């Protein structure tokens, strides 16, 4: 029996417009700027390349300038996915990136640290440091 993965959410303030942020989260060229070394798209299947190794994810949901969700094809857990949501604060106008992911309890801290590094890379690329 596999260990149940835990869902976790991370929120980052990104100083950019929702449409610019969405392009970085939903397109192969945008994702290759911060998330992976290279990203290829065929249909709804994104192939992410890191240091020569590949991992494939299906884009299962997307709403323009709002959110995008992926499911790793090699993950047997159907409920497991990672998702990017874009929230704009009505009062301040700040754009927030919400990352929703799933990890096994003993891998959760590492996953959070990795997301922090990845989003730092995203912010740097957007000039939002």
Q: What is the mean pLDDT of residues 63-78?
A: 93
How many angstroms separate the CA atoms of 25 and 66, rounded?
Answer: 10
pLDDT confidence of residue 122: 97
Report helix, strand or coil for 92. coil
Question: 28-58 pLDDT, tens per residue?
Answer: 999 999 999 999 999 999 999 999 899 999 9
Alpha-carbon distance values, 63 to 29, 87, 94 (Å) = 18, 12, 19
Regarding pTM above 0.85, the answer is yes
Q: What is the mean pLDDT of residues 75-100?
A: 93
How many angstroms separate the CA atoms of 51 and 62, rounded?
Answer: 28
The verdict on residue 83 lying in a domain is: yes
Which among 101, 115, 127, 100 is positioned nearest to 35, based on CA atoms? 115
- Is the separation of the CB atoms in 125 and 24 below 8 Å? yes
Helix axes 108-126, 18-26, angle to 10 degrees: 120
Name the pLDDT band for 78 (thresholds 50, 70, 90): confident
Give the CATH number of the domain where residue 110 resides.
3.30.530.20
Percentage of residues of the chain with pLDDT beyond 90: 90
The verdict on residue 42 lying in a domain is: yes
Q: What is the mean pLDDT of residues 98-123?
A: 96
Residue 2 has pLDDT above 80, yes or no: no
Question: 88-102 pLDDT, tens per residue?
Answer: 999 999 999 999 999
Q: What is the mean pLDDT of residues 62-84?
A: 93
Q: How many domains does the chain have?
A: 1
The verdict on residue 1 lying in a domain is: no
The verdict on residue 37 lying in a domain is: yes
- The b/e string for 63-84 (b: 16+ C-beta within 10 A; e otherwise) is eeeebbbbbbeeeeeeebbbbb
DSSP string for residues in 39-50: EEEETTEEEEEE
Residue-number span of the structural domain to which 72 is assigned:
6-126
């Amino acid at each position: 029996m596999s260990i149940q993965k835990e869902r976790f959410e991370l929120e980052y303030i990104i100083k950019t417009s929702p449409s610019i942020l969405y392009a970085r989260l939903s397109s192969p060229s945008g994702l290759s700027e911060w998330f992976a070394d290279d990203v290829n798209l065929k249909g709804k299947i994104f192939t992410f390349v890191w240091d020569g190794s590949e991992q494939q994810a299906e884009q299962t949901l997307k709403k323009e300038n709002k959110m995008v969700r992926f499911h790793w094809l090699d993950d047997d857990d159907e409920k497991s996915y990672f998702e990017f949501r874009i929230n704009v604060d009505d009062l301040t106008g700040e754009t927030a990136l919400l990352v929703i992911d799933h990890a096994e309890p003993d891998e959760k801290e590492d996953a959070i640290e990795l997301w922090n590094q990845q989003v730092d890379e995203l912010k740097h690329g957007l000039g939002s440091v």
